[in-house]
Structure 1
Amino acid sequence: MTATEQGAADRRAPATSDLLYEAAAALFVERGYEDTTMADIAERAGTSRRTAFNHFPSKGDIPMLWTRRMADRAVEVITESTEEEVPERIRAYFRLISRMVEAEPELSRQMMLGWTAAIGPIRYESQLLADLTPLLRDGQERGQVDPGVDVAEAARALSDVYIGVIFRWVRDQGTPRTLRTMADSAIDLVLSAIRPHA
């Protein structure tokens, strides 16, 4: 392969990955996660099965990308608001993710079902930890998080609590409470436990 051909292939890779992701998302909503195969996804995206597996070695990798995309969007927003206190930035981070989850409830439901079917809670460390840990460290430096708090454990607690809230929201589709309301109260419990003590 020439350098020109390699360059063209490198530019196509993200576009192909996006096509596959969008095809998977549409099929998960139409048919459900369980009833969608990688062959279905490849066909909808107009690629070969081999190409689909090159981008997503497992169907379970697609919900991981869904999670990461939402977290990345939320991080972009909160990194712009560095003047706000850290607990409020953490609340804003979870509120943004909640808004994205609520905007497409059936897609969110199918992605969460896919994540659990792929043994996500057991196999993967939460993708939110890398976002939350530096925020919490910043909070300690600013005196907004207790200096005795293990920030890695606090990040894990926030992540675990939030994932639990999403599972509850997905399971209880008829609940009158919004995901944001449910998440706010759960996140506030953790934040109150890690605030500086007099």
Structure 2
Amino acid sequence: MAEGLGRRERKKQQTRRTLIETAARLFNERGYDATGVADVAEAADVTKRTFFLHFPTKEDVLLSDGPARVELALRVIDERAPQAPPREVLAEAIHAMIADTASRELPNGMAALRARLMVDSPAVQARVLRAVFTAQARIAEALRAAYPETLDRATAASVVGAAVGAVCAAAMASLQDGDAPEATSEAMRQAAAIALHAFDALGEESR
């Protein structure tokens, strides 16, 4: 039974990946607005119902790896080493998210596509900004809960917002310049290093 469940899960994940890759290809070939859910489902050889089992909306395909990336950051915070300072933990969480982006969405072009659509499509822009805001809020709350004596809600929101915002902005600029994946990854890492200096104003205990 466990083996059967494993096969079903693998098939589910493969279908999801096929939908993502197919959508990315069609968005690039036909344009985002000109490509509907039915087009993606047909090209992926699945039903529209199958598409909606994986993604609530067309915009969600563009953010397909985002939720798992946030969970990765939350896990880093939750599994932090004893006595690890918050700056160090946040840095590890941010770098884990950058590494995940570099391994998934930079090579397949999804990050570049999303960056372009952020400029061209108001619907995509609104959806991405909402996702980023939600991610920042979840990470900030997890960090605050991990260090209640050091960080209050506003401070946690400030430092996480600075780091996530800087990384996203650097990625957007690099992708819009047409940089190679390695250069975009480096731009994100440099942005994180700059933003994490926000912790310096909190005192030695926070570093």
TM-score (norm 2): 0.68
1:24 matched to 2:19? The reply is: yes
What displacement does 1:45 show?
A: 4.2
Aligned AA (1:184): A
Q: Residues 58-114 of structure 1, C-alpha deviation per residue, up to 9 Å, x if partnerless?
A: 210123332111222233344222322211111111111111222241122224445
Q: How far apart, in 1, do the equivalents of 2:10 and 2:48 lie?
A: 17
Q: Residues 176-196 of structure 1, C-alpha deviation per residue, up to 9 Å, x if partnerless?
A: 561343233333233334x23
Aligned AA (1:120): R
Cross-structure match for 2:89: 89
Of Structure 1 and Structure 2, the greater helix share is in: 2
1:110 matched to 2:116? The reply is: no
Cross-structure match for 1:50: 49
Structure 1's unaligned 5+ residue stretches are 1-11
What displacement does 1:174 show?
A: 2.6
Q: How does 1:142-181 map to 2 (within 5 A)?
A: 143=150, 145=151, 149-174=154-179, 176=183, 178-181=186-189
Q: Is the 8 A contact 1:162 1:183 kept in 2?
A: yes
1:99 matched to 2:99? The reply is: yes
Q: How far apart, in 2, do the equivalents of 1:78 and 1:15 lie?
A: 31
Q: How far apart, in 1, do the equivalents of 2:188 and 2:92 lie?
A: 10
Match for residue 120 of structure 1 among 127, 130, 135: 127
Cross-structure match for 1:59: 58
Q: Is the 8 A contact 1:38 1:59 kept in 2?
A: yes
1:41 matched to 2:29? The reply is: no
Q: How far apart, in 2, do the equivalents of 1:164 and 1:137 lie?
A: 27
Rate the CA distance shift 1:127–1:115 in 2: closer, same or farther, 3 A: farther
Percent identity of equivalent pairs: 16
Superposition RMSD in Å: 3.5
Cross-structure match for 2:4: none
Give the secondary structure class of the aligned counterpart of 2:58: coil
Q: How far apart, in 2, do the equivalents of 1:121 and 1:107 lie?
A: 13
Report the more deviating stretch, 96-105 or 153-162: 153-162
Q: Is the 8 A contact 1:42 1:49 kept in 2?
A: yes
Q: How far apart, in 2, do the equivalents of 1:96 and 1:20 lie?
A: 26
